[in-house]
Amino acid sequence: MKLLIDSGNTRLKWAVLDSGTLIEVAAVAHKNNHDLASLKKQWAKLIQPESIYISCVSGSKSQLKRFLIELWPKSDLKFLQSPCMAHGIENSYPNPVTLGVDRWLAMIAAKHEYTGSLCIVDCGTAITLDCIDAQGLHLGGMILPGWNLMQQALKKGTANLDVSNESYSLGLANNTQAAIFNGSLAAIKGFINAGMISSNQLILTGGDAEFIKKSLQLTAVLDLNLVLKGLALEAI
């Protein structure tokens, strides 16, 4: 049995890989010790993994490593980095390891699952966009603050702007909360449109993917476990 871990900026997603199949997919926040205690309780029910494949883009790599060694001292830990080329994808970054490994794993999973040229948008704390052509060449990408981060930046950086948890009809707004809501969505829509070309198939993943697809009425495939699927490809 192998354990797959996708440690992002806000959440840690994990799954068990057994005989090539993802099972027990789950997620927890990982902002404080209470979150880690909840995670430890869930993982204590598992048998010791043969190996653990990890995508970590948060600042908690050393903490996560200590946590895993304490829980499963005999498991082989594999913290992944983005290579020059693998699984039919050619990395466009001059220094390949500086490409976020979560973006790389999402690309190799998308190439494995879908055909043609693809635009992969991960809607998390940050929104990342990467395009690959039909031959698997990474054409490059873009990064934008995520839905919540965009709104919180306005709240923290200004004196009289506040955000709301309500949803609003898209378009020009007649109140500040709706204006922030719609402005944030418009920025995300423009960001996605800027990365799309006519032959791209749009693939959405990440915690806000369903909300963004519905709000913007996008023609897109939802694949919420792309990074875990990429980890599975590395682990098989």
What residues contact residue 60 under an 8 Å CB cut-off, 6+ apart?
7, 30
Known catalytic membership, residue 102: yes
Query: How far, in Å, are 43, 63, 106, 197 from residue 60 at the CA level?
Result: 18, 5, 21, 36
Tokens (6 digits) for 161? 């702007």
* Annotated catalytic residue within 102, 122, 130, 223: 102
Separation CA 144–CA 21 (nearest Å): 32
**How, if at all, do strands 89-90 and 85-86 pair?**
antiparallel
Phi, psi dihedrals of residue 223, rounded to the nearest 5°: -140, 90
Can you tell me whether residue 121 is helix, strand or coil?
strand
Active-site positions read: 102
